[in-house]
Amino acid sequence: MRQSPRFRDGAFQNESPASIAPAGRGMLGEFLFGRQRRKPTRPVPVVSPTLDELAAPASEGLRATWLGHATVLLEIESRRVLFDPVWSERCSPSSLAGPRRLHPVPLDLGALPAVDAVVISHDHYDHLDETSIRTLARLQDAPFLVPLGVGAHLERWGVPASRIVELDWDETATVAGLGFTATAARHFSGRLRSDNATLWASWVVAGAERKVFYTGDSGYFEGYTTIGAAHGPFDLTLIQIGAYAPYWPDIHMTPEEGVAAHVAVNGGLLIPVHWGTFNLALHDWSEPVERLLTEAAECGVRVAVPRPGQAIDVDAAPAPDGWWRSVA
């Protein structure tokens, strides 16, 4: 970690400086009394994948199943990759307080088919869930690919060091015939306190023919153009579009910036993530996807908006049908 170009003055640093406004009276007042509709008014329509659907991963095609928030099961060239698995009811250090799930997980963690790799973007509670990691370590044999320093959390939770692959930005590991490259992001880290003691990352997953890019959590930055030039084009991008606010513009993208990131990395199909599952910001529950579709239409970007648990065939993705509007 200390040898990383990203590690300076005892902490990891962004390529582009990022700041968060201190919690002032205005922010707290909006959190407590703002009139945004931050939760759906009716149950979110969840699709429960069947065992037959999960039995065999897509061999030649590319398929993605959004399981809520940033958790995605990717099927690429007969391999399965699980991103940021969070099955807990709350994304919080406490099971009694903190942001609570707005819809059930579409699939029980014990029913998850064998995966070939588990990819973690950073150590925040809504991306790195201790209970889910412990369960996956017990039920699965797959290695965990993590940014520098995050492996210490996993080891403390009982994951053998032999199953942990830690990478710095621009480093690549090959697992199950797929290339996994940790790429830059503009964010921060820390669980009980934001000390930037571990690294955060976006990820490139590359097979022989297909490529996928996952932003993790990030503010927009010029590094996306560099990532696109080095690793693109991508058949699929998984783009963070929710939990933005003017109080922290540098560490989460707005939907419009998400479209810009997709264009910068030279993406094909865009599937939005990091919205709809937890109430983490001050916008309306469905605002991120509505703004995304408006911007995508203006930029000619192809978008799929799956229900939680709905598998999307990247080569035959359905057009958005507005399912969220009836529950927003």
Burial (CB count within 10 angstroms: exposed 0-12, middle 13-18, buried 19+), residue 249: middle
Taking the C-alpha atoms of residue 112 and residue 71, their distance in angstroms, rounded to an integer, is 13
Residue type (1 letter), 263 = V
What is the chain's length? Answer: 328
Domain segments of the chain: what residues? 46-313
pLDDT profile of the chain (328 residues), mean per 10: 95 90 67 82 93 68 95 96 98 92 96 96 98 98 98 97 98 98 98 94 97 98 98 98 94 98 98 97 96 98 98 96 97
Q: What is the DSSP letter of 100?
A: B
Return the DSSP state at 114.
P
CATH class of the domain at 46-313: alpha beta
pLDDT of residue 24: 60
Q: In the sheet that 267-273 helps form, which strands lie side by side, from edge to edge?
A: 172-175, 178-183, 202-206, 211-214, 234-240, 267-273, 302-303
Position 228 scores a pLDDT of 98
**107-113 LR contacts (CB < 8 Å, sep 24+):** 107/48, 107/49, 107/54, 107/67, 107/309, 109/85, 109/135, 109/136, 109/139, 110/135, 110/139, 111/51, 111/54, 112/54, 112/73, 112/82, 112/139, 112/140, 113/54, 113/55, 113/57, 113/80
Bridge-based pairing state of the strands 7-8 and 172-175: unpaired
**Cα separation of 13 and 34, whole Å?**
33
pTM: predicted TM-score of the whole model, two decimal places: 0.96
Residues ≥6 apart with Cβ < 8 Å to 3: none
Instruction: Give the whole-angstrom CA distance, residue 82 versus residue 61.
Output: 17
Helix, strand or coil, per DSSP, at residue 278: coil
The H-assigned helical ranges of the chain are 25-33, 51-55, 130-139, 151-156, 223-231, 255-264, 287-299
Question: Which pLDDT does position 58 carry in this prediction?
Answer: 63
